[in-house]
């Protein structure tokens, strides 16, 4: 199957030129995309986009992939829904200018075409390729003189919260919501109305729009709450037993299998046996990796600080300190520590064929398994060290750590061997007789000192923090904080889609737009670019 190529005109018509002039003052990215669309979507990249399509010839003839990719960028820039994007392509002269269809009465694509193309783009990871293309565009346009830039890059990493789009529910609502989805699935398989099915099975609670209103109890009464929970569970068990008896073969295949597995997952994470009243009770504490939404399976509880919590995801970006271009993006569940996302980000930067000179990040990333390997390969890690405090007693910084001889010496002069990742213990007799003991410890068993696995790196970072030049280097990572704010401004702080991968696509698209604006700014202000 031969796909049509997107070939917008190189020379603008008089009307296009007038619109191009107007967008040069406000919403400037429309003009930039019009000027550089054939550089961003050159023949080689259009050929890569065509590889996403099957060659059987079946189905409708697709639109030019590059045109749809540009439409997705315009959609992100205009913060439009799919249906709005179709209307804008038909009515907004700025959209038509960029898409090369100025004056067309009908939109150049349908809502279904845009949706299907986005799904295909995500499935083939071409959103990441589009982000890579922005760096290539920066080279082509001469926004940065890459020959004068260091061969090895100084990059910074940071993350920000992204609230999930799925509804967050408590245990009662999660169970009722998941059970209702089982009912809907069964009703579809049996071709019967769901409301009639719940009446026949005697499980009316599951059809109620508000489970707590239907239960109608004093929620401050533990006994009433326990009885209500077990009443709900009883009706869920009735449903499951009926399914097992009447739909045993269907229950082992999607979609019914998936809905039953979801119900079991929620019970396992939120419930435990009640030793006092019998039956089940809501589990004390929060289960690890607890699912918080029925509709979005990837959303999780997370914290940005000790006092600020959120439900959803964390978006991470890697930014070049030389150019301020975003090199890589990833999205992770909100409960995943920053350190677990660093290997993915580093791999994606290295996949671009780039080498790192230094890596700037905050303390959340320093425990990553990739950090020792990066340091061993010559990458300089720039990060604030962990705070060392011990009340009014001597802190770890008051001790002398010798990593060559693997010994630690206390302020009183006692020396003991130390091993990374373990605790060093000073002799009790020496400590108890030391005149500095009141300033050191209250224990009669001698002072203990925890030696971190990355203690040599922490020691270097403490030295870095004490020097003015070192503190200046620590402040360089402010670039990534500003860039991440621009991504958040472009994408928003609430997820557009359900699911981690789709929201990573949305974050990557926002990063593409931020990079394009960086390139545009550098081209408009070459003196600033040269000064940098």
CB of 427 closer than 8 Å to CB of 446: yes
Q: Output the pLDDT for position 25.
A: 80
Q: Which residue has the higher pLDDT, 521 or 53?
A: 521
What are the counts of helices (DSSP H) followed by strands (DSSP E) for the chain?
Answer: 22, 13
Q: Output the pLDDT for position 348.
A: 95
Could you give the residue ranges of the DSSP H alpha helices within 41-81?
43-50, 65-78
Structure tokens at 441: 């410890």
DSSP three-state, residue 359: strand
527 pLDDT above the threshold of 60: no
Tell whether 277 is covered by a domain. Answer: yes
CB of 54 closer than 8 Å to CB of 120: no
Tell whether 92 is covered by a domain. Answer: yes
Could you give the residue ranges of the DSSP H alpha helices within 424-467?
428-433, 437-440, 455-466
Number of C-alpha atoms within 13 angstroms, CB side, residue 529?
21
Tell whether 26 is covered by a domain. Answer: yes
Summarize pLDDT for 98-145 with one digit per residue, the tens: 999 998 888 999 999 999 999 999 999 999 999 999 999 999 998 888
Helix (H) or strand (E) holding 325: none
Pairing of strands 300-303, 415-417: unpaired
Summarize pLDDT for 489-523 with one digit per residue, the tens: 999 999 999 999 999 999 999 999 999 999 999 98
Q: In this structure, are 356 and 393 located in the same domain?
A: no
Helix axes 28-40, 14-22, angle to 10 degrees: 120
317 pLDDT above the threshold of 80: yes
Q: Output the pLDDT for position 148.
A: 82
Q: Output the pLDDT for position 399.
A: 93
Structural domain boundaries enclosing 346: 152-160+312-385+473-524
**Which of 343-364 are b and which e, b meaning 16 or more Cβ less than 10 Å from the residue's Cβ?**
eebbebbeeeebebebbbbbeb
Domain count across the chain: 4
Distance CA 224, CA 211 (A): 15
Q: In this structure, are 278 and 191 located in the same domain?
A: yes
62 pLDDT above the threshold of 80: no
Pairing of strands 355-360, 380-382: parallel
Q: Output the pLDDT for position 529.
A: 42
Closest of 357, 350, 398, 363 to residue 378, by C-alpha: 357
Q: In this structure, are 263 and 277 located in the same domain?
A: yes
301 pLDDT above the threshold of 50: yes
Compute the CA torsion angle 436, 441, 444, 450 (nearest 10 deg): -120
Q: In this structure, are 24 and 112 located in the same domain?
A: yes
Q: In this structure, are 334 and 420 located in the same domain?
A: no
443 pLDDT above the threshold of 80: yes
459 pLDDT above the threshold of 80: yes
Q: In this structure, are 381 and 392 located in the same domain?
A: no
Q: Output the pLDDT for position 526.
A: 62
Tell whether 324 is covered by a domain. Answer: yes
Q: Which residue has the higher pLDDT, 532 or 178?
A: 178
Tell whether 461 is covered by a domain. Answer: no
Quote the mean pLDDT of the chain: 91
Ordered DSSP codes for 152-184: EEEEEEEEEEEE-SSPP--HHHHHHHHHHHHHH
Q: In this structure, are 381 and 397 located in the same domain?
A: no
Q: In this structure, are 184 and 235 located in the same domain?
A: yes
DSSP three-state, residue 226: helix
Least confident of 80-89, 183-192, 383-392, 503-512: 383-392
Q: Output the pLDDT for position 60.
A: 63
* The last residue of a domain, from among 243, 266, 282: 282
Tell whether 117 is covered by a domain. Answer: yes
Q: In this structure, are 422 and 487 located in the same domain?
A: no
Indicate the pLDDT class of residue 239, thresholds 50, 70 and 90. Answer: very high
Summarize pLDDT for 247-285 with one digit per residue, the tens: 999 999 999 999 999 999 999 999 999 988 889 999 988
In this prediction, residues 290-303 reach a mean pLDDT of 94
150 pLDDT above the threshold of 90: no
Tell whether 346 is covered by a domain. Answer: yes
Q: What percent of the chain has pLDDT above 90? A: 81
For CA atoms 69, 70, 74, 76, give the dihedral sign. positive
Distance CA 43, CA 187 (A): 50
CATH code at position 510? 3.30.420.10
In this prediction, residues 184-192 reach a mean pLDDT of 94
DSSP state of 323: T
CB of 205 closer than 8 Å to CB of 211: yes
Q: Output the pLDDT for position 33.
A: 95
The β-bridge partners of 161 are 314
Tell whether 2 is covered by a domain. Answer: no
Q: In this structure, are 345 and 408 located in the same domain?
A: no
Q: Output the pLDDT for position 373.
A: 92
Distance CA 433, CA 171 (A): 58
Burial degree of 483 (CB within 10 A; 0-12, 13-18, 19+): buried
CB of 223 closer than 8 Å to CB of 233: no
Q: In this structure, are 374 and 351 located in the same domain?
A: yes
Which pTM does this prediction carry?
Answer: 0.90
- Omega into 255 within 30° of 0, i.e. cis? yes
In this prediction, residues 297-301 reach a mean pLDDT of 95
Q: What percent of the chain has pLDDT above 70? A: 97
Indicate the pLDDT class of residue 61, thresholds 50, 70 and 90. Answer: low
Q: In this structure, are 323 and 435 located in the same domain?
A: no
391 pLDDT above the threshold of 90: no
């Amino acid at each position: 199957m031969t796909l049509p190529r997107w070939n917008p005109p190189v020379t603008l018509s008089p009307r296009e030129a007038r619109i191009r002039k107007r967008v040069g003052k406000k919403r400037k990215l429309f003009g930039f995309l019009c000027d550089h669309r054939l550089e961003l979507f050159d023949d080689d990249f259009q050929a890569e986009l065509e590889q996403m399509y099957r060659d059987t010839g079946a189905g409708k003839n697709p639109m030019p992939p590059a045109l749809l990719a540009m439409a997705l960028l315009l959609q992100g820039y205009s913060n439009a829904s799919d249906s709005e994007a179709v209307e804008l392509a038909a009515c907004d002269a700025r959209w038509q200018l960029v898409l090369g269809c100025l004056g067309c009465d009908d939109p150049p694509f349908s809502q279904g075409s845009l949706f299907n193309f986005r799904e295909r783009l995500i499935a083939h990871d071409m959103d990441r390729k589009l982000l890579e293309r922005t760096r290539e565009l920066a080279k082509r346009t001469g926004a940065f003189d890459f020959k004068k830039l260091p061969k090895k890059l100084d990059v910074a990493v940071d993350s920000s919260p992204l609230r999930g789009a799925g509804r967050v529910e408590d245990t009662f609502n999660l169970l009722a919501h998941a059970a209702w989805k089982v009912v809907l699935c069964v009703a579809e398989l049996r071709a019967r109305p769901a409301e009639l099915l719940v009446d026949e099975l005697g499980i009316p609670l599951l059809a109620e729009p508000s489970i707590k209103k239907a239960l109608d109890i004093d929620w401050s009464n533990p006994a009433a709450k326990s009885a209500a929970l077990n009443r709900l569970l009883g009706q869920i068990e009735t449903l499951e037993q009926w399914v097992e008896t009447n739909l045993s073969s269907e229950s082992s295949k999607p979609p019914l299998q998936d809905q039953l597995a979801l119900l079991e997952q929620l019970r396992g994470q939120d419930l435990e046996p009640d030793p006092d009243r019998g039956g089940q009770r809501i589990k004390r504490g929060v289960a690890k990796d607890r699912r918080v939404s029925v509709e979005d399976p990837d959303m999780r509880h997370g914290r940005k600080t000790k006092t600020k919590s959120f439900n959803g995801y964390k978006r991470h970006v890697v930014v070049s300190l030389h150019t301020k271009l975003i090199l890589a993006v990833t999205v992770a569940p909100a409960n995943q520590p920053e350190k677990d996302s660093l290997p993915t980000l580093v791999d994606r930067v290295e996949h671009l064929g780039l080498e790192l000179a230094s890596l700037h990040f905050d303390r959340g990333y320093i425990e990553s398994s990739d950090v020792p390997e990066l340091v061993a390969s010559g990458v300089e890690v720039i990060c604030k060290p962990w705070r060392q405090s011990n009340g009014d007693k001597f802190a770890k910084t008051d001790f002398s750590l010798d990593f060559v001889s693997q010994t630690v010496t206390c302020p009183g002069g006692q020396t003991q061997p130390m091993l990374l990742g373990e605790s060093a213990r000073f002799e009790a007799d020496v400590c108890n007789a030391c005149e500095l003991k009141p300033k050191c410890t209250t224990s009669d068993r001698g002072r203990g000192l925890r030696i971190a696995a990355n203690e040599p790196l922490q020691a270097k970072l403490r030295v870095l923090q004490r020097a003015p030049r070192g503190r200046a280097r620590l402040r360089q990572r402010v670039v990534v904080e500003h860039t991440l704010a621009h991504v958040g401004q472009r994408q928003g702080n609430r997820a557009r889609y359900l699911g981690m991968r789709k929201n990573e696509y949305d974050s990557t698209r926002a990063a593409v737009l931020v990079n394009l604006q960086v390139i545009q700014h550098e081209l408009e202000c070459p003196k600033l670019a040269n000064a940098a």
